[in-house]
Chains A and B, each alone.
Chain A
Amino acid sequence: MNAIEAVNLGKRYYRRGGLGAASLFGALTGRSGPKREPFWCLRGVNFEIPVGRTVGVIGPNGSGKSSLLGLTAGTIHPTEGHVRVQGRISSLLELGAGFHPELSGRENVFLNAALLGIPREDVKKKFDRIVDFAELREFIDMPVKHYSSGMYVRLGFSIAVEVDPDVLLVDEVLAVGDLSFQFKCLDRIRDFQKRGKTLLFVSHSLETVEEFCHEALLIHHGQLVARGEPAEVIRKFIRFFMGERGGLHQTEYGTRAAEFGDVRLLNAAGNPCETFETGGALTVEIPYVAHRRIEKPVFGFSLKTANGLYVFGTNTQIQKHDIPFIDGAGTVRLALDPLRLMHGNYFLSLSMHSWDHVEQFHRREDWWPFAVQNPTGALGMLQLDSRWSQQA
């Protein structure tokens, strides 16, 4: 059975002109200002999510992710097609959206639950759990306008999850409150999954999607471009929208006295590849062209995770691998063997500069994405050399 079913879902907005005229004058004179310019923020989207699955929606900013969630929640209505949801739905589109600042936390709990369609009797039974989860016992009778932003979202999250929905929609709000509350939130989400509830969630945190979701949907320009295994879809996302197409933090600069050619990532067998294994080999083949003779050039590389965490970086100078000079075309090879990175998505950056760091010839930051799969079962970020011994 499907919890969520979207058929030919489409939502049209107008870039200019709006749905109606912006003023009564415009309406009366038949002039609606500038010519209406429609654009589809979502179109022709079809998918179904079986009960009990957790599905993550990823895509660049403005691709239509939040609209998809809004349509599913029913806060906005499709221009064409439809989306059907089975069971009670609760959404974390914006925590505490229904709160009224003048009312106390207690009153807001009942108001918010009523908005979600929860009978008052049920709320009374769950009230203590809601308050305890939000850790707001002593502040519950204070008007929420005096709440800190953390208290505000904690209460909002607590209500949304404690009302026990069948389908939970989450929009980028798992990172609420302080660290300990974030852990509680993620724990509650896992609990949801265990109890066979359906989750649809939008996130820019690719790690979170990979960790929590059974399946990922990739949305771009309002179209569903890929769906499937989260790791697979995330890689596609990184390759298409962060890699070659001018992505989010990709940068390139330098005097171009020497330039990188078509850099390839090769596996142990010497074949171009995008997915590597922990403990295996990764060779980077770096063709270059030097437009003039350059003495003692330095080649460097660095690795970052998809979240931008700097994992490792070094260069030929640090490693005392002297290259006397470059002139014309040539190839440099960088071997990472064994590859000590663990499961996840990474970015490779390369640079070429003068020995005294005065001139940067060519630098490509976060240019080459690749993925690592870890068959060993060990956890964490890096594979460390570790040995055990025991004495009786």
Chain B
Amino acid sequence: MPTVTLNRNVVESLIGKKTPIEKLRDRISMLGTDLESISDTEIVVEIFPNRPDMLCEQGFARALSSFLNIKTGLKNYTVQKSGYFCKVEKTLEVWPYTVNAIVKNLKFDDESIREVMQLQEKLGTTLTRHRKKGGIGIYPLDKIKFPIRFTTMKLNEIKFRPLDSSKEMYADEILEKHPAGIKYSNILQNQKEQPVFIDANNQILSIPPIINSYDTGRITQSTKDVFIECSGPDLNILNVALNIIVTSLADMGGKIFSIDVINKNKKITTPDLSPKTMNLDVKYVNKILGLNLKEKEIKKYLMMMGFDYKNKNALVPSYRNDILHQIDLIEEIAIAFGYEHFPTEITSFGSIAEEDQFEKFKRKIQDILVSLSFIQVNAFCLTNEDKINKKMNTNYDTVKLLNSINQEYNAFRYWLLIGRTFNSKNELDHLCVVISNSKTNFTELKQILDALFTALGIEYKLDVLTHPSFIEGRTGSIIIKDKAIGFIGEVHPDVILNWDLENPIVALELNVNELFEKL
């Protein structure tokens, strides 16, 4: 989950009211973000993935100010027509969509440039999943000439100076050498052509989702109006990303203008900031929450979360992408009501507790062994080949992990530890009993085995067994009702030395699942 550092002064001036730090600390947590720290100048919060609209000062302040009951309800943003259009000429099948907008009348300084860049970057890592679901470009309007074309070109035909570079480069060079190219070239891999935005002067604006042009794609303090494009495979995500950006820029003082995106004969006008409606059943709300809220109260709570409510419908802001079902609205109502205000009450139906029979059996075995003065260990299920096989002089087929970052723990243990064991077919619970001291021997452990089976009321016998980890002639398989369910023996000194140990070891291992079945 992304952590953002927000300028507290900017947030508070957007809210329009100073709030004591203790109250902020509490309210920010109870609004549904993970507050990490707060100081006089900064608010550091982890934003949950369902709220990309809160990744910048503007969106965060918008949510907080309505939650604090300062400016509640759906916020209206006016969109004027720019008269510009973007022509979709040719697209990759995997990168077919674009949506655009213009925001004018902005005043940039170092701080607001930082805010916009942080928003763009964090949207990239979260909402668009590291640009896999879309690229976002922001350009100074005065550097480009409409109409814009969204098309594709061969890699060796695309040449421009990318951001963070001192010279012009070909697209294939960018993908190979430029830091952004190296980082994101895997998204549109194995494509002969690359998507590009080109303006009416035939300037290349960018190759999405990799990088913008240095000449046309750089916001500076003198920038007043900006052009924004989002392109990618998921139109829904692109619209949300665009809406989050334009509403944030509007909250910075900008005016939003639309662009017509023309694809063959189809025209869409973006951004579309009209709220979506979702039907809300008051009875359902009260049933899920266990409350008795009136429609009027529900409306009040929805407005505290930046929504509106009319004629049994919730109006959902255009920058919210997480409202899939009315259950999502219920959570909004619950947050506004305050999780801390819910009464405490457990369900009233009668129910019968039941411990799992096998778990109970395992507990009994543990109790018996503890009463025989054994000390129980609890170790990781994950281990490695060296420990499972090499040191034990065995050759078991283990279950391996594909991607463990710990090379010491890249396989599941196959045997010889208390607890869960793993083979290619099964997960089984094994019991392992080990005695080690300077003069231990087979007899000492067989006495324990006798005691265990006497306590369980099970008869067993031993058959001679050869096992590579144990001394031949001092190893047996444990037989119950003609079935071998384990083994017991003196561990071979080679194995003891493999583990850098010095004392004799006797060990037994039992398949507890089979033992349970034989009861």
Is the A/B pair a real complex? no
Contact residues of A with B, CB < 8 Å?
Answer: none
**B interface residues with partner A (beta carbon < 8 Å):** none
